Structures are given as C-alpha cells and as structure tokens.
Amino acid sequence: MMMEDRRLNKYLADSGYCSRREADRLIEAGQVTINGRVAALGERVPAGARVMVGKEEIGFAGDKVYLAVYKPVGIVSTADTREKDNIVDFIAYPGRVYPIGRLDKDSEGLLLLTSDGDIVNRILRSEGRHEKEYEVRVNKPLTAEFLSRMASGVPVLGQTTLPAGIRQTGPDSFTLTLVQGLNRQIRRMCEYLGYEVLRLKRVRVLNISLGRMRPGEWRQLGDRETRELMALLDKQG
C-alpha cells in the first residue's frame, strides 16, 4: 500500500515518471528537488511536499483516486459488500472506490479501481477498442493450429472473438492481447479448442502495467500514467 512518507526514488517511480534506477540517477545528478532544496539519495518525501525534476513538478492525481491493484485468485471484482470476498473490502482503501471492469474470480492480476465515475463510463464505452494483455498457462502443449485459431477468432457466446495478438512463451504458455472483454473469454476460447486454462494473469490494461506488484498489493497511478490513460481514452472517443 502507498505510504504517506516514502523514499524519493519510490515516489518518482510510483508517480509514473521513471523507474527507481532512473530516479536514483536523476537524484545523483542533482536534478531533483524537494520543497526547492536539492534532494539526496535515500531521502524520504513527507506528505504534501513539492517534488520537482528540473522544472517539472511531480505529483499524483488530485482529488480523484486511481488505483492499480494486483487482484489475487479468489477475490471478486465487485464493490458489492454482500460479496464477502469483494475487492473493495480486500484492499481496504480509506475512501470510496469502484472496480473498472472485471477480472473473474479464478483469475489474477491487474485490476483498476477509481473514485472517478466518468473514467469508468469512458473505459466501458470504449470496450472493444482498448488493449488488455494476459499471461496464460494451459494443460497441454500448444500447437500451431491453436495459436492461429486464438489469434484469428473463436466462437464464444454466439459470436466470433475479435483478432488478438498472441505470443508463445513456453511449451504450454502464451501471452494474449485482447481488445474486448467477453465473460470468461480466454477460458471459453481455450475450452472451444480443447484446452483448459490452469493459470490466467492480466498484466496490462491500456498503458497501465502490473510490473513487479505481488498479489494483494496496490498503488496509486502517477500523474504521468493518468495523463497517458486519459489521452488514450480521448483518442478512442
């Protein structure tokens, strides 16, 4: 979870400005200031401090909350408190947030939550146009036909899935990039082709990546990530 007082390199990385390694390089080069004072390696950023790289102020999105969450298997992508394993109670964020879209209970990985109802509507309206990337492992070796069919389209829920990007990563594993989100789509696609999904992990939604987060962890999106996300949604109309 995000801490009020955190290391400067983590602050810059969490903001989406750069990696921790690049942050350390910028700090060593004297390009980072905290409240107008040149910062030092290992320094911590107190809540409310003004952090700048050169002439650019680095902060987080204002009053609206945008969270990237690593949803574990078994947690349900809902804000409905009648569901005991709902994602909102699970992360216990100190404010009202809602999941953007869904990730089924048996799957894990990146789920976005926000207090911004407008962005929820914008992302849902753009369904079929924004990319989501998954890492998948199945119960038997992949074949050329399987890879080709998954990429070109498979009958699911009375329709043929849209073309998808696929890359084999092992004898029984692959990454799949979708631009639609039918109910349990990847599991249904694999089942149609005679395969069973053993593990399904979402690693990216649009420009937001899971990175090195672990199950149950969450972080706030940085200003740069949020601006890029809004720009992509604007481009998609």
- At 177-210, the pLDDT tens digits run 999 888 999 999 999 999 999 999 999 999 999 9
* Span 100-146, pLDDT tens digits: 888 999 999 999 998 877 777 777 666 557 899 999 999 999 999 99
Is the pLDDT at 230 greater than 70? The verdict is yes
The DSSP bridge pattern shows strands 66-71 and 44-45 to be: unpaired
Q: How distant, in Å, are the alpha carbons of 42, 91, 173 from that of 57?
A: 19, 29, 42
More confident residue, 226 or 138: 138
- The whole-number average pLDDT for the span 10-33 is 84
Q: Give the separation between CA 103 and CA 68, rounded to whole angstroms.
A: 13
Q: How much is the CA Rg of the chain, to the nearest whole Å?
A: 20
H/E stretch holding 211 reads none
Q: What is the DSSP letter of 29?
A: T
The whole-number pLDDT of residue 48 equals 67
More confident residue, 65 or 120: 65
The whole-number pLDDT of residue 40 equals 94
State which amino acid sits at residue 146: F
Q: Quick count: other Cβ atoms within 10 Å of Cβ 132?
A: 21
The whole-number pLDDT of residue 3 equals 40
Q: Give me the catalytic one of 104, 106, 223, 234.
A: 104
Q: Give the separation between CA 197 and CA 187, rounded to whole angstroms.
A: 6
- The whole-number average pLDDT for the span 220-227 is 86
Q: Give the separation between CA 63 and CA 43, rounded to whole angstroms.
A: 26
The whole-number pLDDT of residue 2 equals 40
The whole-number pLDDT of residue 78 equals 92
- The whole-number average pLDDT for the span 89-104 is 86
The whole-number pLDDT of residue 171 equals 98
- The whole-number average pLDDT for the span 22-43 is 93
The whole-number pLDDT of residue 1 equals 40
Confidence of residue 12 (pLDDT cuts 50, 70, 90): confident
H/E stretch holding 175 reads strand 173-178
The whole-number pLDDT of residue 142 equals 98
Is the pLDDT at 32 greater than 90? The verdict is yes
- 104 an active-site residue? yes
CA 41 to chain centre: 29
- The whole-number average pLDDT for the span 39-57 is 85
Is the pLDDT at 231 greater than 70? The verdict is yes
